[in-house]
Homo-oligomer: A and B are copies of this chain.
Amino acid sequence: MAAAATLGYRPNRIPGIMLSGRSHMVGVVIGGLDNPFYASALERLAIALRQAGLQVLLVQVDDALTLDSALDQLASYRIDAVVTSLAVGSQSVAHAFSELQTPVICFNSSFVGPWISTVTSNNYGAGQTAAEIFLKQGVIHPVWLAGPAKNAASRARADGFCDTLEKASDRFDKLIRLRGDDTYQSGYNAICRLLQRGARPDGIFSSNDMMACGVLDALRECGDLRCPNDVIVLGYDNIPQAAWHGYDLTSFDQRTDQMVTVAMDLLNEALQTVDHPFSQTRTINAQLIERGSTRTSK
């Protein structure tokens, strides 16, 4: 032991990988780290994985092409599993994951396939809650600001929101549907254009907080509608900026801590059922964080 210490000997884990076929490495596939929500999710996930004795092999993905080659590489390193928080995904992505023959845990995304498990926020339910808030606050001219069409979570939020609005269609004007790309700027632009067209919304539900921040800045700079007195704004993700005094944005918190815990449970289960496709879905209720952007004294 003394000799080992002086020589700076470190046991080599590589041979063990060859023997057991388990590398104790997990591929983590991410994209869009510029959204603080994903950055924070990655941080929590990395902590949880380290505590479980697993290494994080990080793969940054911007398009489907890099994903394919990245997955090939992950497979070559004999990773035990893949965790991904890719929001935007087609069925071809799901197919690429399934071909790995390795457990895949989808974090807040919604791929389906034999090896794929999912932990997701209750997007539909949150959409319903948003609609109920609009009802309670007496909103008449509602606006829905969607994320990219490929974002399944955004679609589910829209469904819950629209279905509930329609049940009370006598109390609402026709819903205005806008589309953004989940960035601040797209939220800003969408609302500026809307106001320039002369629309006077009194309730805006944004598919995520980044766009909602853009919405709030657009309201301040274009037109004369004031939040929350003339128009209330609701976001999703509860990013740190939502709590900044300049925004004070009501938002749905996805409770990433719970989601990570559940993801780790799924991961452990999947790792135990070795070489067999493992597929489960778990849903976490988002938690409404009420702030100034919906606080009106009407």
Measured CB to CB, the nearest residue on chain B to A72 is B10
Are A184 and B244 touching (Cβ within 8 A)?
Answer: yes
Given contacts A34-B36, A58-B46, contact A8 B101 (CB under 8 A): yes
Main secondary structure of the interface of A (DSSP, over half): helix
User: In residues 16-30 of chain A, which contact B (Cβ within 8 Å)?
Assistant: 17-18, 23, 25, 28
Inter-chain CA distance A13–B59, complex, in Å, is 17
- B18, B55, B244: the one contacting A77 at CB < 8 Å is B55
* A107-115, A156-164, A169-177, A216-224 - the one binding chain B: A216-224
Q: Cβ of A33: which chain B residues have Cβ within 8 Å of it?
A: 33, 39-40, 42-43
Interface residues on chain A, number (Cβ under 8 Å): 54
Are B34 and A240 touching (Cβ within 8 A)?
Answer: yes
Are A220 and B246 touching (Cβ within 8 A)?
Answer: yes
Are A246 and B247 touching (Cβ within 8 A)?
Answer: yes
Measured CB to CB, the nearest residue on chain B to A71 is B10
Least Cβ–Cβ distance between A284 and chain B, in angstroms: 21
Inter-chain CA distance A226–B99, complex, in Å, is 59
Given contacts A28-B58, A55-B77, A240-B184, contact A39 B34 (CB under 8 A): yes
Least Cβ–Cβ distance between A18 and chain B, in angstroms: 5
User: In residues 61-86 of chain A, which contact B (Cβ within 8 Å)?
Assistant: 62, 66, 70, 72-73, 75-78
Q: Cβ of A66: which chain B residues have Cβ within 8 Å of it?
A: 50
Q: Cβ of A47: which chain B residues have Cβ within 8 Å of it?
A: 60, 62
Q: Cβ of A246: which chain B residues have Cβ within 8 Å of it?
A: 213, 216-217, 220, 246-247
Measured CB to CB, the nearest residue on chain B to A213 is B244
Inter-chain CA distance A240–B244, complex, in Å, is 15
List 14 A–B pairs whose Cβ atoms lie within 8 Å, in order of A's numbering.
A14-B18, A15-B18, A18-B18, A25-B77, A33-B43, A34-B40, A43-B60, A46-B58, A46-B60, A55-B77, A56-B58, A184-B240, A184-B244, A214-B244
Known A-B contacts: A25-B57, A220-B245. Give 7 more (CB < 8 A). A8-B101, A14-B77, A33-B33, A34-B43, A46-B59, A50-B60, A246-B246
